[in-house]
Structure 1
Amino acid sequence: MPFQILSISGGGYLGLYSIAVLASLEQSIGRPIASCFDLIAGTSVGGIIALGLAAECPAEEIKAAFEKEGKSIFSSRAAPTTRFGQWRDFGRSLFSPKYTGTALRNVVGSIIGEETLIGDLKHPVVVPTVNLTKGTPQVFKTPHHLSFQRDHLLRVVDVAVATSAAPTYFPIAEIGDELFADGGLFANSPDMIALHEAEHFLKVKYQDICLLSIGTTTTQFSFSHRTGRKLGTAAWARRLASAMISSQQLDVHYMLSHKLADRYVRIDEVQSREQERDLGLDVATDTAMKTIRGLAAGSVQKFINNSKLQDMLRNSAPAPKFFYGRSAQ
């Protein structure tokens, strides 16, 4: 029997694409999509989605929350198109985060529950963050291994806020006495994190692993030869996050497509030049919402008959073994 992994990338409000795709797939099988997978991984907004699915929250409800509350979490302003507008937008986060994070926490709490613990989840999940107190990456996990004695007592909402605490966008998250930032700083596409978890901790041979990776339509980062040679500190400051995210994701997908071959399915879309003007990590306008939903619908139509995807969706993962928490067997 194959060991199946679902991995969900980060991308701010573009995560609406990820959950829209997953909601359509869940509707097509008529049961929680988490039941198809042995392990779920998610970073940033993908981590929020992963935690919700691991709690068996209906994907359609998570999608509806994104659509309804996106403007309260992010910005209802259109993406700036002029250089002045771009610099003004950049200036808003020069000395403090652009958003308070209160609305984000409230939305996550309304979806999953304020008091739900990691040990209460119904499916194994891994969620990358950066521990700023220790200066190291940290992956929060359900207690699906005997040595995982720490995280099952943490509240899901705290972990969700930690993995999505994107620098300049949201305040640094605090859990206990430790500070955390967005997992996208090192693993915006957590596919390799999940693969390592399966191989190292769960002792699964990579030949038995199938991985479904869901993107957020983030564009490939590039610029012209003339522009690139003239960029200084100020110009790079606006572009650095996009460059890091794009490069990291492309590298991960390249390696996974080689290692897993046809057992690796990546669902994503490339934004057109016109669509790029309407979309952004924190752009939650009505136009952005409709564009993202349209991209998701196109992806579902493109992949729904993919034979490997269909095999994944027909699978029923065995009940997980948790060693601690209320879900422990």
Structure 2
Amino acid sequence: MDIEREEKTIKKKYKRINITEPLDFNSYSSNLDEKQQWCNILSIDGGGIPGIIPAIWLMELERQIRRPISSIVDVIADTSTEYFGSATLSDAKSELVIPAVKSGGSVTDIFTRFNSHQDSTKNFCLTDILMCTTAAPTYFPAYQFNSSVYVDGGVQANIPAMIAYDHASKSYPHYDRNRVRLLSLGTGDYVPDPLNLNANRNLLFWARNHQSVFKILMDGPQNNIDLHLNSVLGDNCYRWQIWLENPIDLDDIQDKSINRLIDLAHGHLEEMEAYDNRHRLGCLIEKFRS
């Protein structure tokens, strides 16, 4: 059985194709302002360059449904790994939830499309918001915006799924908490050991391992969110994550690292299909489109 599974995965690997057909951008765009049966939430972890992983997954979703993600998703939460443009929050087709931390780490501001509709002074340019939420400490300088200084939203919300869930329940009280589907996409994780008891933790140690230490500080408290949301949503919680044997830094732009991320992302989808479990792509598309 394992051999058959392996053969199936190998065949799919050689059948990978790029999106060649145009997407239907005139398709229905979800709107939580109207009463509907289900609320579909998409959450994307922070991660810098490893954000290639969820990008590949979303590309495959769009390739199969031939429509933009906004046609099946009501709320999108993201931090650290982003896209750029001249649009404002109110231009988004789906509800956006983007956290950014004010310098000092004590306050997290949540930028949303909902707030931009309620108050025109909060209809910020997406470029400014994304500069705030991608200002990862030790990688980029803090970003000054709207009389405040911001750093990466991943400092306090590297897995923004819970923020998206809470935002939807508070901002759109008409929707049923029992009819929520969540697709939470990770950017790859591993179990680092820079803090082992035998290590000589002098200044040189911290300097050499600052990226691993930073990742621990960002991911540690957030990993409990997976367990909590899974207990709340049960079978309606879909968590896709890849466990790495070796870390890939947020700023690693080497060709070999990028190719590795692309291969891992495709491989994860193919493995899910091969195992035919409830997280497989076809099953998820069927539920999200229903």
Place the TM-score, normalised by the shorter chain, in its bin: 0.7 to 0.9
**Cα RMSD (Å) of the superposition?**
2.4
CA shift, 1:224, in A, is: 7.3
**CA displacement, residues 37-81 of structure 1 (integer Å, 9 cap, x when unaligned):** 110000111xx15xxxxxxxxxxxxxxxxxxxxxxxxxxxxxxxx
* Higher-helix-fraction structure: 1
Tell which deviates more after alignment, 138-147 or 247-256.
138-147
Q: Equivalent residue for 1:185? A: 155
Aligned pairs (5 A) from 1:284-295: 284-295=253-264
Q: Equivalent residue for 2:169? A: 199
Report the Cα distance in structure 2 between the residues aligned to 1:233 and 1:240, rounded to whole angstroms.
Answer: 13
Report the Cα distance in structure 1 between the residues aligned to 2:203 and 2:224, rounded to whole angstroms.
Answer: 25
CA shift, 1:26, in A, is: 1.1
TM-score w.r.t. structure 2 length?
Answer: 0.77
Tell which deviates more after alignment, 127-136 or 284-293.
127-136
CA shift, 1:225, in A, is: 4.8
Q: Equivalent residue for 2:251? A: 282
Q: Equivalent residue for 1:268? A: 241
Q: Equivalent residue for 2:205? A: 235
CA shift, 1:218, in A, is: 2.3
Q: Equivalent residue for 1:18? A: 54
Letter in 2 for 1:190: P
Counterpart contact for 1:119–1:151, Cα < 8 Å: no
Are the structure 2 counterparts of residues 39 and 147 from structure 1 closer, same or farther at C-alpha, using a change threshold of 3 Å? same
Are the structure 2 counterparts of residues 135 and 226 from structure 1 closer, same or farther at C-alpha, using a change threshold of 3 Å? closer
CA shift, 1:311, in A, is: 5.2
**CA displacement, residues 291-323 of structure 1 (integer Å, 9 cap, x when unaligned):** 000110012213355546545424359xxxxxx
CA shift, 1:140, in A, is: 0.6
Q: Equivalent residue for 1:253? A: 226
Letter in 2 for 1:121: A
Aligned pairs (5 A) from 1:22-101: 22-45=58-81, 48-49=82-83
**CA displacement, residues 176-229 of structure 1 (integer Å, 9 cap, x when unaligned):** 32211100110000011011011122123331111000000022344575336x
SS of 1:265's equivalent? Answer: strand
Q: Equivalent residue for 1:129? A: 100
Provide structure 1 residue ranges, at least 5 long, that are not aligned to the other structure.
50-107, 318-329
Report the Cα distance in structure 1 between the residues aligned to 2:255 and 2:119, rounded to whole angstroms.
Answer: 42
CA shift, 1:280, in A, is: 1.4
Higher RCO structure (Cα 8 Å, ≥6 apart): 1
Counterpart contact for 1:165–1:182, Cα < 8 Å: yes
SS of 2:114's equivalent? Answer: coil
Counterpart contact for 2:44–2:186, Cα < 8 Å: yes
Verify: 1:313 aligned to 2:261, yes or no. no
CA shift, 1:148, in A, is: 4.9
Report the Cα distance in structure 1 between the residues aligned to 2:76 and 2:202, rounded to whole angstroms.
Answer: 40
Report the Cα distance in structure 1 between the residues aligned to 2:80 and 2:195, rounded to whole angstroms.
Answer: 30
Counterpart contact for 2:115–2:122, Cα < 8 Å: no
Verify: 1:175 aligned to 2:211, yes or no. no
Select which of 166, 183, 204 maps to 2:136: 166
Report the Cα distance in structure 2 between the residues aligned to 1:138 and 1:212, rounded to whole angstroms.
Answer: 23
Tell which deviates more after alignment, 167-176 or 210-219.
167-176
Letter in 2 for 1:160: L
Provide structure 2 residue ranges, at least 5 long, that are not aligned to the other structure.
1-36
Are the structure 2 counterparts of residues 23 and 225 from structure 1 closer, same or farther at C-alpha, using a change threshold of 3 Å? same
CA shift, 1:245, in A, is: 2.2
CA shift, 1:233, in A, is: 5.6
Report the Cα distance in structure 2 between the residues aligned to 1:302 and 1:6, rounded to whole angstroms.
Answer: 21
Report the Cα distance in structure 2 between the residues aligned to 1:123 and 1:293, rounded to whole angstroms.
Answer: 26
Report the Cα distance in structure 1 between the residues aligned to 2:265 and 2:94, rounded to whole angstroms.
Answer: 25
Counterpart contact for 1:145–1:201, Cα < 8 Å: no
Matched residue count? 246
SS of 1:217's equivalent? Answer: coil
Counterpart contact for 2:90–2:117, Cα < 8 Å: no
Are the structure 2 counterparts of residues 261 and 214 from structure 1 closer, same or farther at C-alpha, using a change threshold of 3 Å? same
Tell which deviates more after alignment, 28-37 or 134-143.
134-143
Report the Cα distance in structure 1 between the residues aligned to 2:255 and 2:98, rounded to whole angstroms.
Answer: 29
